[in-house]
């Protein structure tokens, strides 16, 4: 049933059609992502070592690259019911405005109070922490979306939540900070004076506006120096991609319901969790040779880890306290310019996506922020949703692909992830509206500084 008239503007799944299991794409990868390494011994991290930092059940998920499906615990399913299934929207208005034969769909994850897809993993991670009998969790947040999601999940389950928020976002987004505090979280701008690693980073980079890498180091130190606390991460790790597979599973179920097969799947890539989640079931089919899809990761030109990074072992954080991950990276010492898509300012990329990219199973492009805000503004006016700057990277490339279809006359089906709302990004929109936004693209010399700090691993 591919007749346009029969496809509604929004495809909602019934409650009974929601996924009951997460899908672990690693199980179907021939070339598995490289293991996390202990930075001291350079040997693969054991569960015992990881258990000091992360919750036990999450460590099991992290290390498991053979089990294809994990049951979603009933308590998490009940929470998901509060805001899922999320709609898959046929962007009829956008298609008309672009005058393209392409058929455009977007999976909208911004329909919950936290405002983004991050809640899908936040509730899972908070649930396992609670089940383990912990007092609380610590984390970092860039744009504030992850911190908000975790604050909501912790409030729901009665867990303490300590958030290190990248300083430039803390200053640019006071309202997001207050949402987190309203949900009971303790929010600290990072780098801060309250951790050893924060003090060290401040001494080395006075006046720094911070980065996700710095905030991770602080949150890990906080968790490992306080009894009853563990660190949770909103992206990058394979367990997070597993939880986010709910996005792709719902998307695929909705498309299958109407017999739609996408040609191109697009998502923004910060640490890789939404893109990894969106593409998982499609990539699974591609890996098994059942179907083929073009998959495109979109990153900011100011922080181009896939398009200009090196595929190497690196620290996940600036303070070098985390395990080493093999990933496309700009070097853990690379501090990106204060791009307004705070959630995409991360030096590395999920090991799963890095391996898939290295194997030629997906593409990556980088875009400049002024062109992203131009696309975001157009989208808001045409489709009505005010998108997050991160999500708008995917919008920009989806529009570009739809315009290529206009030139060639091809009616390709494009699906993209609309990960969140931009209500707390109005300082950024204000800069764009006032013509004060500029684009910063690091030079090869800038990148060389980050690469020089890569650890030597054979
Ligand atoms: C709305 C939104 N989209 C996308 C991202 C990027 O993260 P990831 O690559 O893990 O999906 C973020 C990160 O904070 C975000 O807030």
pLDDT tens column, 71-87 = 999 999 999 999 999 99
Cβ atoms of residues 270 and 330 within 8 Å: no
Cβ atoms of residues 324 and 314 within 8 Å: yes
Cβ atoms of residues 403 and 98 within 8 Å: yes
What is residue 5's predicted lDDT score, i.e. its pLDDT? 60
Indicate the pTM of the whole model: 0.96
C-alpha 286/C-alpha 27 separation (Å) is: 13
Query: What would the DSSP string read from start to end of 169-234?
Result: HHHH-HHHHHHHHHTT-EEEEES-TTSHHHHHHHHHSTT----HHHHHHHHHHHHHTSTTEEE--S
- Reference 381, options 369, 367, 390, 392; nearest CA is 392
| Omega before residue 85 within 30° of 0, cis | yes
Cβ contacts of residue 144 below 8 Å, gap of 6+? Answer: 165, 169, 173, 176, 177, 179, 180, 342, 424
DSSP one-letter code for 116 = B
The neighbouring-strand residues paired with 417 are: 107
C-alpha 370/C-alpha 392 separation (Å) is: 11
Centroid of ligand 1 to alpha carbon of 164 (angstroms): 16
Centroid of ligand 1 to alpha carbon of 43 (angstroms): 30
What is residue 214's predicted lDDT score, i.e. its pLDDT? 87
The neighbouring-strand residues paired with 325 are: 314
**51 three-state secondary structure:** helix
Centroid of ligand 1 to alpha carbon of 348 (angstroms): 13
Q: Which protein residues touch ligand 1 with a CB less than 6 Å away?
A: 116, 142-143, 145-146, 235, 268-275, 343-344, 388, 390-391, 419-420
**From the alpha carbon of 145, which atom of ligand 1 is closest?**
16
- Reference 280, options 7, 27, 1, 16; nearest CA is 27
Query: What would the DSSP string read from start to end of 290-325?
Result: S---EEEEEEETTS-HHHH-EEEEEESSTTS-SPEE
The neighbouring-strand residues paired with 421 are: 387
What is residue 341's predicted lDDT score, i.e. its pLDDT? 81
User: Roughly how many angstroms between the first and final C-alpha of the chain, as a whole number?
Assistant: 53
What is residue 6's predicted lDDT score, i.e. its pLDDT? 87
CA angle (287 as vertex; 282, 289 as ends), nearest 5? 95
What is residue 54's predicted lDDT score, i.e. its pLDDT? 96
Centroid of ligand 1 to alpha carbon of 109 (angstroms): 11
What is residue 169's predicted lDDT score, i.e. its pLDDT? 85
CA angle (178 as vertex; 172, 184 as ends), nearest 5? 140
Cβ atoms of residues 455 and 39 within 8 Å: yes
Which domains are assigned to the chain?
A: 4-20+85-115+244-452 (3.40.50.1100), 22-70+117-231 (3.40.50.1100)
What would the two tokens of residue 409 be? 């006359």
**From the alpha carbon of 389, which atom of ligand 1 is closest?**
1
- Reference 59, options 224, 221, 237; nearest CA is 237
Using the structure block, give the residue that is written with the tokens 């992360």. Answer: 54
Using the structure block, give the residue that is written with the tokens 């007749």. Answer: 3
C-alpha 33/C-alpha 139 separation (Å) is: 24
CA distances from 415 to 58, 266, 284, 354 (A): 30, 6, 17, 21
User: Probe ligand 1: pick from 163, 210, 273, 352, max atoms within 8 Å of CB?
Assistant: 273
C-alpha 319/C-alpha 316 separation (Å) is: 9
pLDDT < 50 regions, the chain: 1-2
Please name the residue whose Cα sits nearest to atom 14 of ligand 1.
343
Query: What would the DSSP string read from start to end of 389-439?
Result: HHHHHHHHHHHHHHHHHHHHT---EEEEEE-BB-TT-HHHHHHHHTT----
């Amino acid at each position: 049933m591919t007749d346009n008239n029969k496809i509604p503007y929004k495809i909602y799944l019934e409650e009974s059609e929601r996924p009951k299991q997460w899908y672990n794409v690693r199980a179907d990868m021939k070339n598995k992502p490289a293991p996390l390494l202990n930075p001291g011994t350079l040997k693969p991290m054991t569960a015992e070592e990881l258990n000091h930092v992360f919750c036990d059940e999450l460590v099991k998920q992290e290390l498991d690259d053979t089990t294809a499906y994990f049951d979603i615990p009933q308590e998490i399913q009940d929470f998901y019911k509060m805001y899922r299934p999320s709609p898959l929207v046929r962007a009829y208005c956008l298609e008309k405005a672009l005058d393209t034969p392409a058929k455009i769909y977007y999976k909208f994850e911004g329909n919950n109070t936290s405002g983004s897809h991050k809640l899908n993993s936040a509730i899972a991670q908070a649930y396992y922490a609670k089940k383990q009998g912990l007092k609380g969790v610590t984390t970092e947040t860039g744009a504030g979306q992850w911190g908000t999601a975790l604050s909501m999940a912790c409030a729901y389950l009665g867990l303490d939540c300590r958030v290190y928020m990248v300083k430039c976002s803390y200053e640019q987004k006071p309202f997001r900070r207050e949402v987190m505090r309203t949900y009971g979280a303790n929010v600290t701008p990072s780098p801060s004076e309250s951790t050893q690693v924060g003090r060290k980073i401040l001494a080395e980079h006075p006046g720094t506006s911070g980065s996700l890498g710095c905030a991770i180091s602080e949150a890990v130190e906080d968790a490992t120096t306080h009894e009853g606390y563990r660190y949770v991460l909103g992206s990058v790790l394979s367990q997070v991609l597993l939880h986010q597979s709910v996005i792709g599973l719902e998307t695929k179920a909705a498309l299958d319901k109407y017999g739609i097969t996408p040609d191109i799947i697009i998502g923004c890539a910060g640490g890789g969790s939404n893109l990894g989640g969106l593409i998982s079931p499609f990539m699974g089919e591609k890996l098994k040779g059942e179907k083929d899809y073009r998959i495109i990761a979109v990153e900011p030109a100011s922080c181009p880890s896939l398009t200009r990074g090196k595929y190497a072992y690196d620290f996940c954080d600036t303070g070098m306290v985390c395990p080493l991950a093999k990933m496309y990276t700009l070097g853990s010492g690379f501090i990106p310019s204060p791009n307004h898509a705070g959630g995409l300012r991360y030096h590395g990329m999920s090991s799963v996506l890095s391996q898939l990219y290295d194997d030629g199973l997906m593409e990556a492009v980088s875009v400049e922020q002024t062109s992203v805000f131009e696309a975001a503004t157009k989208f808001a006016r045409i489709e009505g949703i005010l998108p997050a700057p991160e999500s708008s990277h995917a919008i920009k490339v989806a529009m570009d692909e739809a315009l290529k279809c206009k030139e060639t006359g091809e009616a390709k089906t494009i699906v993209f992830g609309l990960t969140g709302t931009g209500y707390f990004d109005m300082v950024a929109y204000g800069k764009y509206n006032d013509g004060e936004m500029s684009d910063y693209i690091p030079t090869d010399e800038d990148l060389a500084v980050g690469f020089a700090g890569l650890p030597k691993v054979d």
